[in-house]
């Protein structure tokens, strides 16, 4: 019986893969008034005060790191685990789950989340939209993740036409 | 002696909550094989699980533990890992030749990775009361419980049930009603309805139905149950095969 119990415990421990980090809101807040430093695109962010790269930050980030799985045209079986209705190929799609993105990918005072992209798929990402996990996920700097959280914190309170 | 073999709503926890008192003391081990398809609002796919369990019974008391392992495919991603381990204790409070009633207390540990739908992400405490009645070849069992997450449950999956394997609300009332009929010396057929009602308004009401056949020999009981999710999308269809050996 001791052998059976030991075996069960070992099997249980062997199955504890993956990251232990819990998705946590970064606690990032947007300064008041909104400095308008980061935008989705310059066209979508009238009054943006940042550099062109900063004003196009949101779409650039999503296109580079997210939409090979998180896009509305990718069918369920090719999303590599990405939940349905978590589609970041439009600003509307991002805003619908803005809190989830912050909790899974943002850096801020309360958390440094690296589940997406990277840890959530064992460090592997598709090289093409809807493809298999055939390459290493691109490295995202701490600054980029911090900027993501800051952009989301401000963008969610901005007026939108959708 | 009253002894009712049941396969519970939650995979592999056949003995939890509702096995009426057996006068013999002893240890039993079971192995459940689970296979299911699910199609929720956000996720679609299937999973298979192996759920070993141990149970020790003495007089009116029993304790048990389970430690599941799953392979899940969710939206095209395959993951292999542990589910949430559980321990439970049971006491039979009243008992005669036809009727038994008691209470259980189950606890689950967040050993399953909740980000992949394998675990709740926080401990759960699940007290319940149950009653069982046996008459001639018939047995019926009903249970009512309350399940609630504690510790760090603040990040809980919005208004969804979770995990994808064995979904439930962060806090809910649970209920079940089961019936068995002995159709031959070693065979029983049964059916159950079970579910959960969220305590918070944002939760999801869950109802499942199941039908099963159980073969019983002296020390071995083997059952196969087919379950369907009727409400709340806990799964589309699930099969649970379980063998229990008493030592």
Confidence tier at A22 by pLDDT (50, 70, 90): confident
Q: Do A11 and B79 touch (CB under 8 A)?
A: no
- Domain architecture of chain B: domains with CATH: 26-246 (2.40.160.40)
Nearest to B106 by CA among B74, B78, B145: B145
Q: What is the pLDDT of residue B114?
A: 87
Residue B19 confidence (pLDDT) above 50: no
pLDDT tens-digit map of B65-100: 999 999 999 999 999 999 999 999 999 999 998 999
Number of C-beta neighbours around residue A109 at 10 A: 11
Residue showing tokens 């999973």: B47
B225 touches B210 (CB < 8 A): yes
SS3 A79: coil
Mean pLDDT of chain B: 89
Chain B residues in contact with A84 by the CB 8 A cut-off are 41-44, 75
In chain B, which residues touch A (CB < 8 A)?
27, 29, 41-44, 52, 54, 67, 69, 74-77, 79-82, 85, 111, 113-116, 121, 152, 155
The predicted pLDDT at position B6 comes to: 42
Report how far apart, in Å, the C-alpha atoms of A47 and of each of A40, B87, B232 are. Answer: 12, 58, 45
Q: Is A121 on the interface with B (CB under 8 A)?
A: yes
The reported pLDDT for the residue numbered B18 is 42
Q: Would you state the torsion angle of the CA atoms of residues B211, B11, B58, B18, taken in this order, to the nearest 10 degrees?
A: -40
Whole-number percent of chain B with pLDDT over 90: 78
Q: Model pTM?
A: 0.83
Label residue B154 by pLDDT band (50, 70, 90): low
Mean pLDDT across the stretch A30-42?
A: 94
Cis before B163? omega within 30:
yes
Predicted confidence at residue B7, as pLDDT, reads 42
Any residues with CB less than 8 A from the CB of B20 and at least 6 apart, and which? B2, B3, B4, B92, B95, B100, B102, B132, B134, B141
CA distance B241 to B223: 6
pLDDT for A87 equals 95
Closest C-alpha among A100, A98, A109 to residue A154: A98
Give kind and range of the element (H or E) at residue B196.
Answer: strand B187-198
Place of tokens 């099969």: B239
**Residue B50 contacts residue B31 (beta carbons within 8 Å):** yes
In this structure, how many other beta carbons lie within 10 angstroms of the beta carbon of residue B134? 20
Instruction: List CB contacts (< 8 A) between B77 and chain A.
Output: 79-81, 121
The shortest CB-CB distance from A120 to any of B43, B85, B115 is to B115
> Is residue A96 exposed (0-12), middle (13-18) or buried (19+ Cβ within 10 Å)?
middle
Contact B155 A76 (CB under 8 A): no
Contacting A residues, span 88-107, partner chain B, CB-CB under 8 Å? 103
User: What is the rounded average pLDDT of the residues B1-11?
Assistant: 46
- Give the number of other CB atoms < 10 A from CB of residue A77: 12
Q: In terms of Cα–Cα distance, which of B68, B70, B106 is closest to B85? A: B68
> What pLDDT band is residue A89 in, cutting at 50, 70 and 90?
very high
B42 contacts A86? CB cut-off 8 A? yes
Tokens 């075996």 map to which residue?
A7
Q: Is the pLDDT of residue A11 over 70?
A: no
Contact list in A for residue B152 (CB cut-off 8 A) is 22
Between chains, do A84 and B75 touch, taking CB under 8 Å as contact?
Answer: yes
């Amino acid at each position: 019986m001791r052998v059976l119990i030991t075996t069960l415990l070992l099997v249980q421990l062997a199955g504890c893969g993956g990251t232990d980090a819990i998705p946590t809101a970064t606690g990032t807040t947007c300064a008041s008034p909104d400095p308008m430093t980061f935008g989705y695109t310059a066209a979508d962010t009238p009054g943006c005060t940042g550099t062109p790269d900063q004003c196009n930050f949101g779409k650039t980030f999503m296109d580079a790191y997210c939409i090979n799985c998180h896009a509305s045209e990718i069918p369920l079986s090719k999303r590599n685990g990405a939940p349905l209705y978590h589609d970041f190929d439009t600003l509307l799609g991002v805003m619908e789950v803005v809190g989830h993105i912050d909790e899974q990918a943002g850096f801020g005072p309360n958390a440094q989340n690296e589940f997406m992209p990277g840890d959530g798929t064992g460090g592997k990402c598709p090289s093409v939209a809807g493809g298999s996990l055939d390459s290493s996920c691109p490295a995202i700097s701490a600054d980029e993740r911090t900027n993501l959280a800051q952009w989301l914190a401000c963008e969610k309170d901005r007026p939108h036409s959708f | 002696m009253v002894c009712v073999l049941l396969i519970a709503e939650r995979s592999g926890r056949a003995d939890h909550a509702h096995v009426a008192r057996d006068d013999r003391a002893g240890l039993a081990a079971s192995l459940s094989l689970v296979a299911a398809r699910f199609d929720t609002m956000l996720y679609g796919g299937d999973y298979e699980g192996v759920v070993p369990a141990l149970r020790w019974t003495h007089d009116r008391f029993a304790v048990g533990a389970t430690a599941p392992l799953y392979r899940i495919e969710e939206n095209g991603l395959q993951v292999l890992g542990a589910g949430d381990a559980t321990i439970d204790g049971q006491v039979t409070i009243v008992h005669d030749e036809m009727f038994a009633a008691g209470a259980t207390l189950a606890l689950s540990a967040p050993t399953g990775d909740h980000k992949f739908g394998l675990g709740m992400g926080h401990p759960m405490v699940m007290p319940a009361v149950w009653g069982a009645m046996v008459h001639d070849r018939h047995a019926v069992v009903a249970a009512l419980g309350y399940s609630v997450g504690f510790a760090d449950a603040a990040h809980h999956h919005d208004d969804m049930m979770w995990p994808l394997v064995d979904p439930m609300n962060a806090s809910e009332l649970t209920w079940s009603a089961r019936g068995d009929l002995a159709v031959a010396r070693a065979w029983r057929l049964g059916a159950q309805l079970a579910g959960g009602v969220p305590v918070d308004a944002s939760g999801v009401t869950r109802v499942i139905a199941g039908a099963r056949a159980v073969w019983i020999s002296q020390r071995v009981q083997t059952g196969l149950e087919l379950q369907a999710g009727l409400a709340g999308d806990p799964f589309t269809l699930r099969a649970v095969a379980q063998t229990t050996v008493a030592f």
